[in-house]
């Protein structure tokens, strides 16, 4: 069968540097850091005391009090970014076949805040165990997808992908595949995460995965820098509307970019560390190029996983050079995480939004906080350090890798009739 073409027609972003897509894009181009001392809880006894929190987010600005109580923060974030994306896509709910619109959402953890509060309350209580009837429905990772479909009446395929930090990239790939196979006309897809709490901070700190640069939080996320000391924990949500091309044309939708490929692979190496030679990263990018029918010379930009971890930031550039050869030095590489931190299961969606906008606008946002070259990294690569770079971006890849060795990559192309 002939595969259908898939395009991006709506975007919604709720991030540590902005609470809408246009503001997010502008902040990325300006190299704004979202890292700051944590305000949500007392961090005085924690080794790391900063993160990339959402700034000034108040659920009551978006939901009435009764509704807000039913949602864990990760679902609140999902609903907010999706509302922006649905509006941005110009979807008239009375003029589409809702049986042909689905929701595939990604979250690596789900309702961690709800789990923390309920179990903490139980541990401190005496007498019969008391739990909220909303405990399980708020906590489970699939609930954001469910609430999105309930709000809008979308009755197509509905589920959640969980593959650690690759979760929302996997959601995008599944959405892309189901549309091009003719199983749906449109998907609301993306991911959300809300792990900036005592459990999230403490857990990642115990793994020595996050930066301890408490004296200078804004420069805590230092992808590809010699003195990087871990990622900066982030939170937020990103939503993309993927749509079959003819369906989008018939309703006169604006088109940001075309989705042309998606690849997946596994490192099959270690619980948390990447393969030292980047074998899983090589494979996932090659799979994506093969899926899209692209040559290595077609790629102009790669939005890397680029977490600012000691091992990951060596393996990924090594994989890029291994796969692309001399063409690697013509690719503009960057790390969105240098500004928004690591949004965990939402990373793939938030970074794909940035990648789509790079393709649309022919600009690659910078990788900030680079001070010292790492001799273990090929510094002849164009990491787009310090300043945004204007250049033609016809084809771009967005890489996302997760604990457990999960790798996902999505390819976007400048839309042409």
Q: Supply the pLDDT for residue 331.
A: 98
Range of the domain at 360: 262-413
Domain assignment present for residue 257? The answer is no
Compute the average pLDDT of residues 179-206: 98
Tell me, what CATH number does 145's domain have?
3.40.47.10
The active-site residue, picked from 147, 275, 301, 342, is 342
What are φ and ψ of residue 292, in 5° steps? -85, -10
With beta carbons less than 8 A apart as the criterion, state whether 185 and 97 touch: yes
Instruction: Write the DSSP assignment of 293-320 as a string of letters.
Output: T--GGG--EEE------TTHHHHHHHHH
The active-site residue, picked from 247, 305, 370, 406, is 305
- Our answer to whether residue 62 is catalytic in this structure is no
- Our answer to whether residue 52 is catalytic in this structure is no
Q: Which of 250, 285, 313 is the last residue of a domain?
A: 250
180 pLDDT higher than 90? yes
Q: Supply the pLDDT for residue 409.
A: 98
Q: What is the pLDDT of residues 72-81, one digit of tens each?
A: 999 999 999 9
Q: How confident is the model at residue 126 (pLDDT cuts 50, 70, 90)?
A: confident
Q: What's the whole-model pTM score? A: 0.97
With beta carbons less than 8 A apart as the criterion, state whether 189 and 201 touch: no
Considering the domain architecture, whether residues 290 and 202 belong to the same structural domain is answered as: no
The Cα 372–Cα 379 span in angstroms is: 10
Task: Give the largest CA-CA distance in the chain.
Answer: 68
Q: Which of 191, 215, 250 is the last residue of a domain?
A: 250
127 pLDDT higher than 90? no
The active-site residue, picked from 52, 147, 165, 275, is 165
Domain assignment present for residue 374? The answer is yes
Q: Supply the pLDDT for residue 417.
A: 79
- Our answer to whether residue 386 is catalytic in this structure is no
Compute CA distances 119 → 196, 198, 201, 367, whole Å. 17, 13, 17, 39
Q: Token pair of 278, please?
A: 């980047």
| CA atoms lying within 13 Å on the CB side of residue 204 | 27
SS3 346: helix
Q: Report the number of distinct structural domains present in the chain.
A: 2
Compute the average pLDDT of residues 327-354: 98
């Amino acid at each position: 069968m002939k595969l259908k073409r898939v395009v991006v027609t709506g975007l919604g972003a709720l991030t540590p540097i902005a609470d809408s897509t246009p503001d997010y894009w502008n902040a990325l181009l300006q190299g704004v850091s979202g890292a700051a001392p944590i305000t949500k809880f007392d961090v005085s006894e924690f080794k790391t005391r900063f993160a990339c929190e959402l700034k000034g987010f108040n659920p009551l600005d978006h939901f009435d009090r009764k509704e807000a109580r039913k949602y864990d923060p990760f679902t609140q974030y999902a609903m907010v970014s999706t509302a922006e994306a649905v509006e941005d896509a110009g979807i008239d709910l009375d003029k589409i076949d809702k049986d042909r619109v689905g929701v595939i959402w990604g979250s690596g953890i789900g309702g961690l805040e709800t789990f923390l509060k309920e179990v903490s309350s139980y541990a401190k209580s005496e007498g019969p165990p008391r739990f909220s009837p909303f405990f399980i429905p708020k906590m489970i990772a699939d609930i954001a997808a469910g609430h999105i479909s309930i709000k809008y009446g979308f009755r197509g395929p509905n589920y959640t992908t969980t593959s650690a930090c690759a979760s929302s990239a996997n959601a995008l790939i599944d959405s892309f595949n189901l549309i091009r196979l003719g199983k749906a006309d449109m998907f609301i897809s993306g991911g959300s995460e809300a792990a900036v709490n005592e459990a999230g901070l403490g857990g990642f700190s115990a793994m020595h995965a996050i930066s301890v640069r408490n004296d200078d939080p804004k420069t805590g996320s230092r992808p590809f820098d010699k003195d990087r000391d871990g990622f900066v924990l982030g939170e937020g949500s990103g939503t993309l509307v993927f749509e079959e091309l003819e369906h989008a044309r018939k309703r006169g939708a604006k088109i940001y970019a075309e989705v042309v490929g998606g690849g997946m692979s596994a490192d099959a190496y270690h619980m948390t560390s990447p393969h030292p030679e980047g074998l899983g990263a090589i494979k996932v990018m090659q799979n994506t190029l093969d899926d899209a029918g692209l040559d290595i010379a077609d790629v102009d930009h790669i939005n890397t996983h680029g977490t600012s971890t000691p091992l990951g930031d060596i393996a990924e550039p090594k994989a890029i050079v291994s796969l692309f050869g001399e063409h690697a030095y013509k690719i503009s590489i960057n790390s969105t995480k240098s500004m928004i931190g690591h949004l965990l299961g939402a990373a793939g969606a938030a970074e794909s939004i940035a990648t789509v906008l790079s393709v649309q606008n022919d600009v690659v946002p910078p990788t900030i906080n680079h001070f010292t070259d790492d001799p273990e990294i090929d510094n002849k690569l164009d990491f787009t350090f310090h300043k945004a770079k204007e250049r033609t971006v016809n084809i771009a890849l967005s890489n996302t890798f997760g604990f457990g060795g999960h790798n996902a990559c999505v390819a976007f192309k400048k839309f042409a009739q």
